[in-house]
Amino acid sequence: MEPIGTLKRLRRYPVKSMAGEDLAEAFVSYGGLVGDRAYAFVQRDGNPEFPWLTARQVEEMLLFRPKFTAPPEAAAQYPDSTHYGVEVTTPQGQKLDINDPRLKEELEKRLGREIWLRFSERAMTDARPVSLFGLPTAEALSQEVGLRLDPLRFRANFYAEWKEAGPYFEDTLVGRTLQVGEQCLLHVSKKDGRCKIITLDPETAAASPQVLAAVAQRHEGCVAVYLVVLREGIVREGDTISLV
């Protein structure tokens, strides 16, 4: 194996399209990081090909901050239901249980249509179980658009610092296999086609349309890559990323 980088930041998103949380370690199953996108709101009578309520429709969703009340431990691998309780802090500072009808009502008020809550132990991602983003790419794209971009707006699970390579190096890994840490083996499946959400500041939800425009014009609409899991295992912040 050839070491090519370091896992500098590890993140999961308890509720699809809401704020994420940094992790010291996580178990990566075939379905993704345990606890990642475990909950999602679904639009009734929405697009059957993409039924989810996301920040594409309600930009302020990014400002809702969920956290597990009894976080799943990485060593548990497949935690029971008691470890999937989530509390959400609204932009106004109110703390609500994920199943509290007031949370659904607040989102429905912003959306203007009815929604329902869905739970899944498998991450409810858009395309593949895990996503990876190279930190040098954020620096390069910031220069391209003339705006300081927080890497968190790209909502990846793995944030990598490459050993020698520069921006967009992750694009060259499509079709290759990576090992992260001692066990976890992942195949780089494809580039991540982006949408409106990368135009939104993760702290304010303020929109900068030029971000998506630059990605569309210069990078075929893609930033970051998707991974599928070939061998499950625990990954930790600071783990070596190796090319197999």
Domains plus CATH for the chain? 2-243 (2.40.33.20)
d(CA 215, CA 108) in angstroms, rounded, equals 31
Q: In the prediction, which pLDDT does 7 show?
A: 98
User: Do 229 and 184 touch, CB atoms closer than 8 A?
Assistant: yes
pLDDT value of position 49: 80
What local confidence, expressed as pLDDT, does residue 165 receive? 86
pLDDT at 21: 96
Other Cβ atoms less than 10 A from the Cβ of 92: the count is: 7
**pLDDT of res. 122:** 93
Pairing state of beta strands 130-134 and 184-193? unpaired
pLDDT value at position 199?
97
Residues 32-83: tens digit of each pLDDT? 999 999 999 999 877 778 899 999 999 999 999 999 999 888 988 888 888 9
Bridge partners (DSSP) of residue 158 are 10, 132
CB burial class (10 A; 0-12, 13-18, 19+) of residue 109?
A: exposed
Residue 48, pLDDT score: 79
pLDDT of residue 80: 87
Please tell me the predicted confidence (pLDDT) of residue 226.
98
Give pLDDT < 70 ranges for the chain: none
Instruction: Write out 132-188 in H/E/C secondary structure.
Output: EEEHHHHHHHHHHHCCCCCHHHHCCCEEEEECCCCCCHHHHHCCCEEEECCCEEEEE
pLDDT of residue 6: 98
Q: Which element (helix H / strand E) includes 107?
A: helix 101-111
**CA pair distance 74, 234, nearest whole angstrom:** 6
pLDDT of residue 103: 97
Ranges of beta strands (E only) in the chain are: 2-12, 21-22, 25-29, 32-33, 39-43, 65-68, 86-89, 95-97, 115-119, 130-134, 158-162, 177-180, 184-193, 222-231, 233-236, 240-243
What does the pLDDT read at residue 217?
Answer: 96
pLDDT score for 72: 86
Q: At what angle do helices 210-218 and 135-145 cross, to 10 degrees?
A: 110
